Structure 1
Amino acid sequence: MSRDTRDVVEELLRRLAEGDHRRTAELFAEPVDWQLAWPAEGYAAVPWIRPRSSRSDVADHFRSLEACHVRESNGTSVARILVDGIHAVVFGEIAQTVKASGTAYTSPFALHLTIEDGLITRYHIYEDSLTVARALTAQA
Structure 2
Amino acid sequence: MTRDTVEELLRRIGGGDPDRTAELFADEIDWQLNWPAEGHPAVPWIRPRTGRRDMAEHFRLLDAHHVPELDGTTVERILVDGKDAVVTGELVRTARATGKAFTCAFALHLTIEDGLVTRFYLYEDSLSVFRAHTGGDAGADS
TM-score bucket (shorter structure):
over 0.9
1:6-21 paired onto structure 2 within 5 Å: 6-21=3-18
Any unmatched runs of 5+ in structure 2? Answer: 137-142
Can you list the C-alpha shifts for 1:79-123, whole angstroms capped at 9, x where unaligned?
Answer: 000000000000001100111221110111000000001100000
Aligned to 1:134: 131
Residue 50 of structure 1 pairs with residue 65 of structure 2: no
Q: Does residue 59 in structure 1 map to residue 56 in structure 2?
A: yes
- Of 9, 28, 39, which aligns to 1:31? 28
State whether residues 28 and 121 of structure 1, in contact with CA within 8 Å, keep that contact through their aligned partners in structure 2.
Answer: yes
Aligned to 1:79, the other structure's residue is in SS state strand
Alignment match, 1:5: 2
- Residue 41 of structure 1, CA deviation: 3.5
Equivalent in the alignment of 1:90: 87
TM-score (norm 1): 0.92
Moved more, 36-45 or 68-77: 36-45
**Count of aligned positions:** 136
Mapped partners of 2:91, 2:39: distance in 1: 19
Deviates more, 1:127-136 or 1:42-51: 42-51
- CA shift, 1:43, in A, is 3.0
1:37 deviates by: 5.1
Provide the TM-score with structure 2 as the length reference: 0.91
Compare 75-84 and 31-40 and name the one that shifted more.
31-40
Work out whether residues 2 and 83 of structure 2, in 8 Å CA contact, stay in contact via their aligned partners in 1. yes
Deviation at 1:138, TM superposition (A): 1.2
Contact 1:37 / 1:127 at 8 angstroms: preserved in 2?
A: no
Q: Quote the sequence identity (%).
A: 65
Per-residue CA deviations over 1:45-85 (Å, capped at 9, x if unaligned) read: 21110000121211111100000011100001000000000
Matched residues in 1 for 2:72 and 2:7: separation?
17
The verdict on how the C-alpha distance between 1:114 and 1:40 changes in structure 2, with shifts beyond 3 A counting, is farther
